[in-house]
Structure 1
Amino acid sequence: MSAPARIPGVHEQPAVRAAAGLLVYLMIGVYFGVVLIRSEAASWYRIQEMFRFQSFHMYGLIGSAVLTGMLTTWLLRRSGARSLDGQTITVTPKERGWARYVLGGATFGIGWGLAGVCPGPIFTLLGAGVWPMLVVLAFALLGTWLYGALRRHLPH
């Protein structure tokens, strides 16, 4: 039995579409990285100023990100937006309770304070040539793995 005839361009189409989609995500990521560097959101000094209440800069950035997130979440819920593959985008409501949010926020805050960077700018700083961020990346990955290993024992 021979293989079915291949029609040029038909079987390769999903792969080309996936590659184009990844390229779009890469370009958006590079743009976001440039914005993080130019806005000084990835600056250890700006983060230190924020934690010492010496500057409004980071609070303004974080506040504008929270407002943007609230607005886009509201728009997604109201508009019935669809993903590229046609599925309706839904935003699942947060679970009630405080323990998981306090523990998660404290863990995130301790890591942010110790490393001087939240997870997003790690790759941005690596792209800017700040090689000590490799240590931060290694421990971020270790923490992610540790969470996965201990997840069933943590409050959810």
Structure 2
Amino acid sequence: MFEFPFLKNFKLILISFNFAYRTHVLALLMGALFGFLMSRAGATTYDFHAQMFLFIDFQLMEVIGTAVIVAMIGVLLLKRFHVNALSTGCEVDFVKKPYQAGLVTGAFIFGIGWAMTASCPGTIPAMLGEGKMGAVFALIGIVGGTMAYGVLQSFVTHTKQSAPPSKDNNC
């Protein structure tokens, strides 16, 4: 019999690659599918965003509403059946985040940015994949805003920690 050590090594390489990078490959495939579906739904078209914000065409609102309903049903099923994650094998956990004071202001700024650029952060990679170069400027805005938030948050945290304790004169 002829043995081909290269084929055996190739098989081992594929198995180890699958084990080491399965989360990344799964994320890449899911992201590509998500981008394709957003493109097909019209979520990467500037005109649909503008028409939605001007209350002319509600196609994009219908897509968003459908996504919210599907996500709600999905989360309900994940919680009820205690499903394990595909990539880690651990049970999917849903932790409630506490309310933060700047949440409403941040949501308002997010909405203004969405209306000004006619693209939400989820659609920008798909727009770049379609070759829409205007999405580059929105991406720069997102990265800059995220960096500004990080700097401001660390400044506020550092200021609170280094402030001298206040003295109460309630004698």
TM range (shorter): 0.7 to 0.9
- Displacement after TM superposition at 1:96 (Å): 4.5
Unaligned runs of 5+ in 1: 1-7
Counterpart position of 2:42 = 40
Which residue pairs with 1:4 in the alignment?
A: none
Partner of 1:132: 134
Equivalent residues of 1:126, 1:134 under 8 A apart: yes
Counterpart residue type for residue 88 of structure 1:
E
Give every structure 1 segment of 4 or more consecutive aligned residues whose post-TM-superposition deviation is greater than 3 Å: none
Q: Following superposition of structure 1 onto structure 2, how do residues 27-66 of structure 1 map, counting pairs within 5 Å?
A: 27-66=29-68
> What's 1:89 paired with?
92
Deviation at 1:95, TM superposition (A): 2.8
TM-score with structure 1 setting the length: 0.81
Q: TM-score, normalised by structure 2?
A: 0.74
Residue 81 of structure 1 aligns to a residue in which SS? coil
CA distance in 2, matches of 1:96, 1:106: 16
* Alignment gaps of 5+ in structure 2: 1-8, 158-171
Provide, for residues 107-138 of structure 1, a one-character-per-residue CA deviation record: whole Å limited to 9, x for no partner.
11011011110001111111111122112111
Q: Aligned partner of 1:67: which letter?
A: I
User: Over alpha carbons, which structure has the higher Rg?
Assistant: 2
Q: Aligned partners of 2:138, 2:79: CA distance in 1, in Å? A: 35
**Amino-acid identity (%):** 29
C-alpha distance in 2, partners of 1:100/1:77?
29
Q: Which residue of 2 aligns with 1:75?
A: 77
Counterpart contact for 1:76–1:91, Cα < 8 Å: no
